[in-house]
A and B are shown apart, each in its own frame.
Chain A
Amino acid sequence: DTAVSQTPKYLVTQMGNDKSIKCEQNLGHDTMYWYKQDSKKFLKIMFSYNNKELIINETVPNRFSPKSPDKAHLNLHINSLELGDSAVYFCASSHRHTQYFGPGTRLTVL
């Protein structure tokens, strides 16, 4: 009964490819997020959706496109992958003040 799940856990791909990361939460939360953790462990918000509506877009390249088909899902599609996209991507969801994170997806671009 995982609260926030992400697939895949690991993703290794070549530069220039397009890839997607899926996120699902079964907590009934209204708000979902994508965060990026770089090689120095710094975490930064990328996007936030509230009730399927985009509310935060933190100057992320437009190669990154989030999609929220319903309140329980927030997927991240990345076009034309670059070396600098290598990172751990975390999905999170919240109700009221606390955000709960998924296990993370480690993306490696070769």
Chain B
Amino acid sequence: AQKITQTQPGMFVQEKEAVTLDCTYDTSDPSYGLFWYKQPSSGEMIFLIYQGSYDQQNATEGRYSLNFQKARKSANLVISASQLGDSAMYFCAMRESGGTSYGKLTFGQGTILTVHP
């Protein structure tokens, strides 16, 4: 079964608008972490934001926020005020730790975001 699902292969957004990238996950581990990474065309993987399963508040990092809905098992990334440099592939990932700090990341299929001027 797919553990991380990103249902949007591609998304388009106008510069300066907000965009939401969807991510749903599946786990029976009560302790897990959810991550978003950005991969621009240059290829590097850039960490954006982290949400722990026990965190009460949604994570925010600058223009990035994570809309965490635990009951729905969703962890959508919201990018506010999109910029041309936000055009990239975005990956949602989950770490099931079982309490350890070195669990592997399981990635979704990715969503290509294109920001139009």
Binding site for B on A (CB under 8 A): 30-31, 33, 35, 41-45, 48, 50, 55-56, 58, 88, 90, 92, 94-101, 103-104, 106
Contact = CB atoms under 8 A, between A and B. Distances in A.
Contact of B47 (A43, A44, A45, A99): A99
Interface residues of B, number: 24
B25 interface: no
Contact of B102 (A31, A58, A101): A31
Contacts, number: 59
A33 B45 CA distance: 14
Judged by DSSP, the binding face of A is strand
A46 to B, nearest CB: 9
Contacts of A31: 101-102
A88 B44 CA distance: 10
B107 A88 contact: no
A48 B101 contact: no
A96 B91 contact: no
Contacts of A35: 105
